[in-house]
């Protein structure tokens, strides 16, 4: 069987932001207007938005888009799949000649926004994948509250810290030798069930 691994270190994310509001379109477009996406490739269709670039810039853009949507105070849900090393991904051989300075960090890093989240990590192509998953769940505890949930790990805390933790464990998994890494993420902000957390 042909080896389907990939050595490209570009990161891709496919994500959707769902504001629970009649003005959802304005919230999404407003967030896009606020975010500098010049260091990534970005494309939106009728299902989701895809972004590709270095890990630093992909997480910077997705974090900033979510934070800008959530700061409206409306209930916002975010679903994303992050991936590195997928063979056959369109544009996988593209090289991004950019520095590693996140362009949106200063705009969002001081934002206070409680969120609840769930994530699942899939270090494919690694025989010791369960050890790697447990190591990264443990590492996440230095950022936010962590607990188990059906089919996922639950996170609670400030949005910035949740995204910082997700980026950290994703990067550590890739650098730990996973030839194809996938991470799924669900985040909720301003949910009616969060009233005691604000």
Per-residue confidence (pLDDT) for residue 55, from 0 to 100: 95
Higher model confidence: residue 132 or residue 35? 35
> Higher model confidence: residue 97 or residue 164?
164
Q: Rounded distance, CA 49 to CA 42, Å?
A: 7
- The answer to whether residue 30 sits within a structural domain is yes
The pLDDT value given to residue 2: 45
Find the CATH number of the domain harbouring 111: 3.30.70.930
Order across the sheet with 180-189: list the strands: 41-44, 49-53, 11-19, 76-84, 180-189, 114-124, 152-158, 145-149
Report the percentage of the chain scoring pLDDT > 90: 71
User: Among 102, 197, 191, which residue's Cα sits nearest to residue 144?
Assistant: 197
Per the structure, the count of domains in the chain is: 1
Query: Who wins on pLDDT, 125 or 176?
Result: 176
pLDDT of residue 72: 97
β-pair partners for 145: 156
Q: Is residue 44 part of a domain?
A: yes
**All residues at 6 or more sequence positions from 118 whose CB lies less than 8 Å from its CB, including other chains:** 149, 152, 153, 154, 155, 185, 186
Q: Considering the domain boundaries, does residue 29 fall inside one?
A: yes
- In a domain, residue 101? The reply is no
pLDDT in tens, 93-136: 566 768 889 999 999 999 999 999 999 999 987 667 888 889 99
Mean pLDDT of the chain: 89
- Which backbone phi and psi does 79 adopt, to 5 degrees? -125, 130
The reported pLDDT for the residue numbered 142 is: 92
Mean pLDDT of 163-168: 98
Q: CA-CA distance, 56 to 168, in Å (whole number)? A: 10
Provide the pLDDT for residue 91: 53
Residue with tokens 């409206």: 72
Question: H/E element holding 122?
Answer: strand 114-124
Residue 133 domain-assigned (yes or no)? yes
- State the residue range of the domain holding 44: 11-84+106-194
pTM of the model: 0.87
59 in any annotated domain: yes
Residue 110 included in any domain = yes
For residue 25, tell me if it sits in a domain: yes
Per-residue confidence (pLDDT) for residue 93, from 0 to 100: 58
Say what the pLDDT of residue 198 is: 58
């Amino acid at each position: 069987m042909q080896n389907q691994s990939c050595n490209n270190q570009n990161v891709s994310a496919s994500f959707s932001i769902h504001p629970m509001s009649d003005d959802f379109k304005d919230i999404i477009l407003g967030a896009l207007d606020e975010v500098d996406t010049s260091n990534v490739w970005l494309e939106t269709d009728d299902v989701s938005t895809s972004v590709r670039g270095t890990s630093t810039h992909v997480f910077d853009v997705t974090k900033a888009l979510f934070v800008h949507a959530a700061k409206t105070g409306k209930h916002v849900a975010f679903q994303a799949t992050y991936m590195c090393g997928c063979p056959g991904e369109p544009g996988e051989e593209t090289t991004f000649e950019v520095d590693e300075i996140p362009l949106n960090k200063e705009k969002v890093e001081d934002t206070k926004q409680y969120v609840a989240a769930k994530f699942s990590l899939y270090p494919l192509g690694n025989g010791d994948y369960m050890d790697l998953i447990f190591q990264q769940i443990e590492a996440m505890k230095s950022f936010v509250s962590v607990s188990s949930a059906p089919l996922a790990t639950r996170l609670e805390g400030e949005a910035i810290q949740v995204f910082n933790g997700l980026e950290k464990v994703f990067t550590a998994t890739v650098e730990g030798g996973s030839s194809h890494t996938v991470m799924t993420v669900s985040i909720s902000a301003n949910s009616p069930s969060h009233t005691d957390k604000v």
